[in-house]
C-alpha cells in the first residue's frame, strides 16, 4: 500500500515523546505537514530537533500549549489554524489504589484524557466538514475495555474516549470526515518504564522487569511483550490516509491481543 499524505496538515497532541512522537514521525514520513504539541515551547523545540534529525527535510510546525487549559488551547489554535488530521494523543496515567483516588484527581484525569480531545475536536471538526475531508483519531487504551484494578480512574477516562469517538463520528456522518479511536495495548515508552518499576522489583534489569510485568500484571497479552510506539503509529498513519475512507466510528485495536475479544 502506498500512503501519501502530501498536502495534508496533521496536529498530534502530546507529541514531544513516546507514542505521540512516533505518530508525528510516521505522519511526516508519509508526507504530511505535522504540528508537534507539548506544554512548553522548550519541550516542543527539543522534540522538533529530534524529529528533524531522524527525518531531515520533514515539514514540522511548533504548536506549544497546555491544551488542558483554555489559554493553552488558544495558543495551539493560533499556531495551527486548520488541520486535516487531528490525533488526540495527550493523556496521563498512573497507579493508585481505587479508594485513594480523590475528587481532584478524578477531575484532573477527566480534564486531560477526555476533555482535551473534545475541545480540540470541537475546534477543528467544523473546518474538516466544510472541506469535506478529515480524520480525527483518539488514542485510547486496552484499559478502556479491561479496566486495571490499579488505575480505574485512567481506565474510566479511556472508556469515555471510546464514546466520544463514536459520538463525533455520528456528528460527521456523510461528510467525508472519519472519526475513530485506536485502542493501544501496553506500550514501551519512558513513562511506562517508570510505571513498570512501580509494580515490579526496581533492581531488575529492564528486560527482566518487562517480562515480570507482563507475566504478573498483563498475562492475557498474546504478544507477551510491550508494544513499540512505532507499531501504534503504523495504525494511526493508515487510518489518517485516504485508504481508510470507509472506516469510521470504530475502535481499532493495536493491543497485542490483550483484549480477549473476537470483535475489533
Task: Output 144-152 pairs: Cβ under 8 A, ≥24 positions apart.
Answer: 144/183, 144/251, 145/183, 145/259, 145/261, 146/220, 146/258, 146/259, 146/260, 148/217, 149/98, 150/95, 150/96, 150/97, 150/199, 150/217, 151/93, 151/94, 151/95, 151/96, 152/98, 152/101
Catalytic residue positions, numbered: 154
Task: Confirm if 251 and 140 have CB atoms less than 8 A apart.
Answer: yes
Cell 475495555 appears where? 145
Neighbours of 152 (CB within 10 A): 17
Q: Among residues 10, 2, 61, which one has the least CA distance to residue 32?
A: 10
Rg of the chain (C-alpha set): 18
**How far are the Cα atoms of 59, 158, 169, 215, 250 from residue 183, in angstroms, in the given order?**
28, 9, 16, 21, 10
Q: Give the 3-state secondary structure of residue 212.
A: helix
CB half-sphere exposure, 5, CA atoms < 13 A: 29
Query: Terminal CA-to-CA distance of the chain, rounded, Å?
Result: 21
Amino acid at each position: 500500500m502506498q500512503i501519501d499524505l502530501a498536502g495534508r496538515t496533521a496536529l498530534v497532541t502530546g507529541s514531544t515523546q513516546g507514542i505521540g512522537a512516533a505518530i508525528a514521525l510516521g505522519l511526516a514520513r508519509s508526507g504530511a505537514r505535522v504540528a508537534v504539541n507539548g506544554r512548553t515551547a522548550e519541550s516542543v523545540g527539543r522534540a522538533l530537533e529530534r524529529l528533524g534529525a531522524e527525518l531531515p527535510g520533514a515539514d514540522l510546525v511548533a504548536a506549544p500549549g497546555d491544551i488542558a487549559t483554555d489559554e493553552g488551547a488558544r495558543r495551539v489554535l493560533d499556531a495551527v489554524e486548520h488541520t486535516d488530521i487531528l490525533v488526540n494523543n495527550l493523556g496521563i496515567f498512573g497507579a493508585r489504589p481505587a479508594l485513594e483516588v480523590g475528587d481532584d484527581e478524578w477531575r484532573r484525569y477527566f480534564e486531560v484524557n477526555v476533555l482535551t480531545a473534545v475541545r480540540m475536536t470541537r475546534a477543528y471538526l467544523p473546518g474538516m466538514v466544510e472541506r469535506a475531508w478529515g480524520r480525527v483519531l483518539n488514542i485510547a487504551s486496552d484499559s478502556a475495555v479491561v479496566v486495571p484494578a490499579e488505575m480505574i480512574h485512567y481506565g474510566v477516562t479511556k472508556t469515555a474516549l471510546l464514546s466520544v469517538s463514536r459520538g463525533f463520528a455520528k456528528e460527521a456522518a456523510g461528510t467525508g470526515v472519519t472519526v475513530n479511536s485506536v485502542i493501544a495495548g501496553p506500550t514501551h515508552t519512558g513513562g511506562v518504564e517508570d510505571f513498570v518499576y512501580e509494580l515490579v522489583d526496581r533492581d531488575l534489569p529492564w528486560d527482566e522487569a518487562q517480562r515480570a510485568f507482563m507475566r504478573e500484571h498483563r498475562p492475557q497479552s498474546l504478544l507477551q511483550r510491550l508494544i513499540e510506539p512505532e507499531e501504534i503509529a503504523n495504525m494511526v498513519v493508515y487510518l489518517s490516509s485516504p485508504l481508510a475512507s470507509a472506516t469510521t466510528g470504530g475502535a481499532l485495536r493495536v493491543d497485542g491481543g490483550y483484549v480477549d475479544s473476537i470483535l475489533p
